[in-house]
């Protein structure tokens, strides 16, 4: 994307001290020149730790803003004079969400609504929310709350009016090495005598690197017209292949599926196909509830022409292209160097 896109803009990222937030900050500070980049999160310790990596003395545009997306009044203050919002804050851990359901609902659903209200009141220009493949045909509370969150953000385009924000979503799978991911669990076990815990030998997942995730979000900002779910064309990995590439000598312990866990994930279902448009590197799930005529989505802002997928298409981690060992090791290495 052109380096002038964020020039002189005020950007707020919720969940800014998380894995994605720190990676987003790194890319924006390296490649763009915003007026302000506001790191919004609720943990002072994590903000202090992040400030040691990204100092306000070195980066004058940075602001560290303590707050919780559950707190509407705090968000109204945080979004004043903001041009773009990246909503990355969420309660994401499946077992924790199953055990603490109301906390997951407060963060992922009430928090999403608070972002919408504060962005409309302060006339933010664009809001892009991060979603997950677990929001498709959800079997756990995390996925169910993100499905509701997605519906709220898409529907918000009906509320904002001609001069209000436009709202869109980026949906992707597992981010390699993100907080709480299976990769982190494996890495903690490496160097010990413990086996790698595998829930099921058949398990597959969509994977992408943090850098690819950040770049896709930024590219989606430049393309969005409101009401889309942007889905990158990413590859799948067999969890047993990932374990072998991290440590080929480590034995596996098959522990069985955890509550709310799928063997395979789906990024789009067959029911989405009437409004799912394919481009070279991504899919655009256009909203019929916002726009009755979806032809406006068939050509993006880069003048690339898309096409509707066929009626039997399904973007599933089981039926997708898989990374081989060489490609997995390359992803591991690229993540270490990012």
pTM, entire model: 0.93
Q: Which CATH class is domain 10-172+209-232+266-314?
A: alpha beta
Residue 176 has pLDDT above 60, yes or no: yes
* Residue scoring higher pLDDT (300 or 35): 35
What is the model's pLDDT at position 247? 92
pLDDT of residue 1 exceeding 60, the answer is no
pLDDT digits over 214-237, tens only? 999 999 998 999 999 999 999 999
Q: Is the pLDDT of residue 257 over 90?
A: no
Span 84-117, pLDDT tens digits: 999 999 999 888 999 999 999 999 999 999 999 9
Task: Give residue-wise pLDDT tens across range 181-216.
Answer: 788 889 889 888 899 999 999 999 999 999 999 999
Residues 6+ apart with CB under 8 A from 286: 227, 228, 275, 276, 277, 294, 297
Task: Delimit the domains of the chain by residue range.
Answer: 10-172+209-232+266-314
Cα dihedral 232→2→153→17 (10° resolution): 90
pLDDT score of 258: 82
% of the chain beyond a pLDDT of 70:
98
CB of 271 closer than 8 Å to CB of 299: no
Secondary structure element (H or E) that encloses residue 99, with its range? helix 94-99
Q: Which residue would you say has higher pLDDT here, 177 or 83? A: 83
pLDDT > 60? residue 128: yes
The Cα diameter of the chain in Å comes to 61
Annotated catalytic residues are 134
Side-chain-side CA neighbours of residue 124 (13 Å): 30
Residues 161/152, Cβ–Cβ less than 8 Å: no
DSSP state of 316: E
Confidence of residue 2 (pLDDT cuts 50, 70, 90): low
């Amino acid at each position: 994307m052109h380096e002038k896109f964020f020039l002189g803009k005020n950007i707020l990222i919720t969940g800014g001290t998380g894995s994605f937030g720190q990676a987003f900050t790194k890319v924006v500070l390296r490649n763009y020149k915003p007026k302000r980049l506001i790191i919004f999160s609720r943990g002072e310790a994590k903000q202090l730790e992040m400030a040691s990596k990204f100092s306000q003395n070195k980066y004058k545009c940075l602001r560290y803003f303590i707050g919780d997306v559950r707190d509407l009044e705090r968000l109204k203050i945080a979004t004043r004079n903001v041009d773009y919002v990246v909503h990355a804050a969420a309660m994401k851990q499946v077992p924790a969400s199953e055990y603490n359901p109301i906390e997951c609902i407060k963060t992922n659903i009430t928090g999403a609504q608070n972002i919408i209200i504060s962005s409309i009141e302060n006339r933010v220009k664009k809001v892009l929310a991060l979603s997950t493949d677990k929001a498709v045909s959800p079997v756990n509370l995390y996925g169910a709350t993100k499905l509701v969150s997605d519906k709220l953000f898409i529907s918000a385009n009906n509320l904002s009016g001609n001069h209000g924000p436009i709202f869109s979503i980026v949906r992707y799978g597992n981010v390699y090495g993100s907080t709480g991911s299976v990769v982190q669990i494996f890495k903690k076990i490496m160097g010990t005598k413990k086996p790698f815990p595998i829930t099921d030998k058949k398990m597959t997942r969509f994977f992408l690197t943090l850098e690819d995730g950040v770049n896709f979000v930024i590219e989606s900002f430049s393309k969005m017209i409101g009401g889309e779910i942007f889905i990158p064309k990413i590859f799948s990995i067999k969890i047993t292949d990932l374990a072998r590439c991290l440590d080929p000598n480590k034995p596996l312990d098959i522990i069985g599926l955890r509550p709310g866990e799928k063997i395979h994930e789906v990024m789009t279902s067959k029911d989405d196909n009437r409004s799912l448009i394919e481009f070279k590197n991504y899919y655009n799930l256009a909203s019929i509830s916002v726009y009755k005529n979806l032809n406006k989505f068939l050509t993006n802002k880069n003048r690339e022409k898309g096409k509707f997928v066929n009626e039997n298409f399904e973007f599933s981690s089981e039926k997708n292209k898989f990374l081989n060992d060489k490609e997995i090791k390359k992803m591991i290495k690229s993540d270490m160097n990012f």
